[in-house]
Amino acid sequence: MSECFSRKLRHVKIHYFEEIRSSVLELFKERIPLSSRTRVREKIYREIYTRKIDRSYDKLISMIRECASLPLSHELHMFYKELLRLYSLEDVYNEMILRCRNIISITRDIRDKYKSLIKNSSNKEEMKRYVREFIGRILSVAKRKLRDKDVDIFKKIIRELSSMPCFEEDVMKIVLTGMPQVGKSTFISKISNAQPEISVYPFTTKKIIAGHFIDEKKGIRIMLLDTPGLLDRSVEEMNEIELKAVAALKHMADVAIFLIDPRREFYYTIDQQLKVLDTVKNLLGEKKFFIAINKIDISSEEEIAEAEKKIIDLGYSKEMIYKISAAKNIGLTELIYNIYDIFLKTKT
């Protein structure tokens, strides 16, 4: 099972240069406990200053390592990569990681150079000068690479990407779509094995709701996603940020289900809902698409038949249409199993 990138980011600590500088200098000033019992002053000084270099270097690297160990954008799942690209943050993200790696590489060479100088020195004052030069040089490297404004942007990127619910790349993901109040949240809560997780969609104020359907006996694991305020309106009603969010979402979704409320008393007419259906299908591209006529427990047969006919008249096949009641848990499991089987066939 692949590691959850969002969860990993929640534990990543990105430091400003002043934080690093203060920590390194504070450690540098600490008294060095000697391990050697030698009485030769030259060796004592050499041990003290060599250990000061190692300790200072290790402190700096410990505060850079988490940044440096993050994957570059080309190593990320396409969803995250597309988010960074659409919001023009891919170069910023990669550049900061490469800078952190560069700091480690450059300061390692500086450390080795000054340890060698101290090793070959027999003069206390000279050793002291070398170690002070060393501290100045490694902090100068970090200062050049870690400008506050760049760190600010990078910290925001990490914070935003970490807000996503965890999704496993080897698990089928179903995105629920449809107009507001058609029953998407009810669908997820009824079919999920646990309480759905509510998070914030990166770079937006929109929520993203994630549920999981798990059948251990059959080895089935499915993630269900609902994005209220994104896939429930026409393109004309979406702003630029929302359009970008949807464009990235299509890289996460394996399958989409569009829920329809067929009742004539519903706030949105069937025609309005079908207009959004067409929008969503175009936005999600070539994803496998299914339509679920919901609320059949409180809809008349005539209303259900009318909705089905209008859907078919738009060119959707009858095999794509399911009739369910999310509130009463009617047809949900059958729908999920059928979609899973169809998805598996397309993967083989």
pLDDT digits over 219-259, tens only? 899 999 988 877 777 777 878 877 788 877 888 888 999 99
Question: CA 207: distance to chain centroid?
Answer: 14
Q: What does DSSP assign to residue 33? A: P
Q: Which of the listed residues 121, 145, 161 is the one where a domain comes to its end?
A: 161
Q: What does DSSP assign to residue 113? A: H
3-class secondary structure, 71: coil
Spell out where the chain has E strands: 172-177, 197-200, 207-215, 220-226, 255-260, 288-293, 321-323
| Residue 39, both tokens | 């009485």
| Residue 230, both tokens | 């994104």
Say yes or no: 134 and 171 in one domain.
no
The domain total for the chain is: 2
Say yes or no: 64 and 201 in one domain.
no
* Residue 192: closest CA among 174, 216, 210: 210
The ranges of the chain with pLDDT < 70 are 1-3, 34-40, 348
- Per-position DSSP letters for 288-324, written without gaps between them: EEEEEE--TTSS-HHHHHHHHHHHHHTT--GGGEEE-
Say yes or no: 222 and 311 in one domain.
yes
Give residue-wise pLDDT tens across range 98-110.
999 999 999 999 9
Side chain identity, residue 79: F
Say yes or no: 125 and 198 in one domain.
no
pLDDT score at 22: 98
Distance (Å, whole) CA 326 – CA 43:
78
| Residue 221, both tokens | 């694991």
Whole-structure pTM value: 0.83
Distance (Å, whole) CA 179 – CA 200:
19
In which domain, by residue range, is 85 found?
5-161
pLDDT score at 281: 85
Distance (Å, whole) CA 163 – CA 70:
16
Say yes or no: 122 and 259 in one domain.
no
Phi, psi angle pair for 167, to nearest 5°:
-135, 140
Say yes or no: 277 and 235 in one domain.
yes
Say yes or no: 199 and 104 in one domain.
no
pLDDT score at 1: 40
Say yes or no: 239 and 337 in one domain.
yes
Q: Which of the listed residues 134, 161, 188 is the one where a domain comes to its end?
A: 161
Contact 230, 178 (CB under 8 A): no
Q: Which of the listed residues 112, 136, 161 is the one where a domain comes to its end?
A: 161
pLDDT score at 26: 96
Q: What is the CA radius of gyration of the chain?
A: 29
Say yes or no: 139 and 188 in one domain.
no
pLDDT score at 127: 94
Say yes or no: 197 and 292 in one domain.
yes
Say yes or no: 92 and 133 in one domain.
yes
Say yes or no: 277 and 192 in one domain.
yes
pLDDT score at 202: 84
Strand partners, 250: none
CATH number at residue 20: 1.20.120.1190
CATH number at residue 301: 3.40.50.300
Determine how many CB atoms are found less than 10 A away from the CB of residue 4. 15
